[in-house]
């Protein structure tokens, strides 16, 4: 499915620029993108990763499922993105993310808010261990991690709550609002 074909993408110039700047650093970043459902988070990240010409990318949409369902889904994305690795647990997922980021990959975890579910919450501590390892030598780590999520309360609980394993770990935040109609560049809109 070609979701964000170039001809169908409008606006978001400021957001794309911010993303390009982060990607251009070529050193460790942990970016949180949040905004309500259907606001354009997934479309934006797909556009940004294509536009940046970054070949080492892994995009995973986390399903609303149990650990086995998440593992199965991740293995499907690994195959889609041409990676030979396969995982059998959430711990292996966290470690693989760390390994890929160290090798220069940009890894995007979409619908990250599902990790707030009790049955998946262990992953947050597993990911914290990897994130802290990468952050400790951030200048030598050429890749980064992007987490995208819709439910504001759950994203906040995962990343901004003092007791959360991933508290205070993000390096950048992008809060998506509505498309600005003046920036659409659509002739139909610019005639007045």
The partner in contact with residue 138, picked from ligand ADP, Mg ion, none with C-beta cut-offs of 5 to 8 angstroms by kind, is: none
Contact set with ligand ADP (CB under 6 A):
8-12, 35, 37-43, 179
Q: How far is the CB of 177 from ligand ADP (least distance, A)?
A: 11
Q: Which is nearer to ligand ADP, 45 or 126 (CB)?
A: 45
- Which does residue 167 touch among ligand ADP, Mg ion, none (CB within 5 to 8 A, set by kind)? none
Binding site for Mg ion (CB under 5 A): 41-42
Q: Which does 12 bind (CB under 5 to 8 A by kind): Mg ion, ligand ADP, none?
A: ligand ADP
CA atoms within 13 A on the CB side of 186: 12
Nearer to ligand ADP, 39 or 54 (CB): 39
What is the gyration radius of the CA atoms in the chain, in angstroms? 17
CB of 33 to ligand ADP, least distance (A): 9
54 binds, among Mg ion, ligand ADP, none (CB under 5 to 8 A by kind): none
């Amino acid at each position: 499915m070609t979701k964000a074909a170039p001809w169908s993408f409008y606006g978001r110039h400021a957001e794309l620029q911010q993303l390009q700047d982060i990607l251009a650093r070529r050193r460790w970043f942990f970016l949180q993108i949040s905004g309500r459902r259907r606001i354009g988070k997934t479309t934006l990240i797909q556009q940004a990763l294509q536009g940046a010409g970054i070949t080492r990318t892994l995009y995973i949409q986390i399903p609303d499922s149990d650990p086995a369902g998440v593992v199965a889904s991740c293995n499907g994305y690994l195959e889609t993105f041409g990676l030979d690795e396969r995982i059998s647990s959430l711990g292996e997922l966290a470690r693989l993310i760390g390994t890929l980021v160290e090798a220069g990959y940009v890894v995007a975890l979409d619908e990250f808010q599902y990790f707030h579910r009790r049955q998946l919450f262990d992953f947050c501590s597993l990911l914290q261990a990897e994130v802290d390892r990468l952050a400790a030598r951030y200048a030598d780590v050429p890749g980064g991690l992007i987490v995208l999520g819709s439910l504001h309360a759950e994203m906040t609980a995962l990343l901004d709550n003092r007791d959360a394993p991933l508290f205070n770990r993000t390096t950048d935040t992008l809060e998506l609002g509505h498309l600005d109609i003046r920036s659409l560049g659509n002739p139909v809109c610019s005639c007045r």
